[in-house]
Amino acid sequence: MQRQPWRLTRRCPYNQGDQGVQDSRGQVKGRRRGFIRRELRLTPRTLESLNPNYLKEFIKMKKRYSVKSLDELPITAISFLTTEGNETGEWRSQRPILDLEKCNRCGLCWMYCPDNAIRTEGSAFQISYKYCKGCGICAKECPKGAILIVKEKR
């Protein structure tokens, strides 16, 4: 399951006015008063509070951060974006080419890639050139010689 922080939307039961009983996975069990759509998974035992508006305040607090203005910055250096916007493929001076004919789907290249640049597409592996840094570990470890390293053309 690909989980993106800050963009997870769930429908969860919430029993207003009664914190309910939380099981070991953090799910609130209790009398259902309906569903609410919210962007966080509720953990009412995160912080004790006598405040009945706790949930609303907690959600409001998770405002959309950005680095565009002072007001939109969090109060301290709390990272709120993932590194997926950083295309480390730009670093490459050599690139791997995967020959699917020779590939036996053993998954060793996927396992040994430090950048998780080898992904699955259906029942085949695929190299993400957006992120591949060209280290060459995949080619070295492939038992079938299915990966070839070639110089990057720039």
Partner 1 sequence: MKKVISANQAVSYAVLASKTQVIAAYPITPQSSIVEMLAGFCAEGDLQAKFINVESEHSAMAACISASVTGARTFTATSSQGLALMHELLHYASGMRLPIVMANVNRALGSPFNLKADLSDSLSQRDTGWLQFYCESGQEVFDTILQSYRIAEQILLPVMVNLEGFILSHTYEIVDVPEQNTVDRFLPPAPPRECLDVDNPCMFGATTDFYINFRYKMHQEMEKAKAICQEQDAQFQKIFGRGYGLVHSYLCEDADMILVTAGTIASTCRIVADRSRAKGLKVGVLRIRLFRPFPDEEIRQALRNAKKVAVIDRDFSPGCGGIFAQEIKSVLQGTQSGLPVYPFIAGLGGKDVTDKDIEQIVEQTHQLPKPGEITWIGLLK
Partner 2 sequence: MDRSAQIKFPIPEEDLVYSGHTACPGCGAVLALKYVLKGLGPRTIVVIPPSCAGTIVAPFPYSALKIPILRIPFESTAISASGVRAALDAMGKKDIHVLGWAGDGGTFDIGLQALSAAAERNDNILYVCYDNEAYMNTGIQRSSSTPEGTWTTTTPSPYVKDTPKKDIVRIMAAHKIPYIATASIGYPLDLIKKVEKAKEKVGTKFILIFSPCPTGWRYSAEMTIKIAKLATETGVFPLYEIEDGEKYYLGQKHKEKPPKEYFSIQGRFRTMKEEDFRRVEEKVRKEREYLIRMTG
The residues that touch partner 2, with contacts defined as CB under 8 A, are 1, 3, 5, 24-25, 45-47, 65, 67, 77-88, 91, 100-108, 110-112, 114-117, 120, 123-125, 128, 130-131, 133-137, 139-141, 149
Min separation Cβ 13 and partner 2, Å: 20
Which of 46, 36, 38, 39 has its CA nearest to residue 15? 36
Locate 120 and state its tokens.
């699955």
Write each residue from 55 to 94 as x if it is in contact with partner 1 (CB under 8 A), else as -, in one continuous string.
--xx--xx----x--x--xxxxxxxx--------------
According to DSSP, the residues that pair with 118 across neighbouring strands are 127
Locate 36 and state its tokens.
């609410």
Locate 7 and state its tokens.
């963009």
**Does residue 116 touch partner 1 according to CB under 8 A?**
no
Nearer to partner 2, 35 or 104 (CB): 104
Burial of 65 (0-12, 13-18, 19+ CB in 10 A): middle
CA distance 118 to 98: 10
| Interface residues toward partner 1, by CB under 8 A | 5-6, 26, 40-41, 43, 46-51, 54, 57-58, 61-62, 67, 70, 73-80
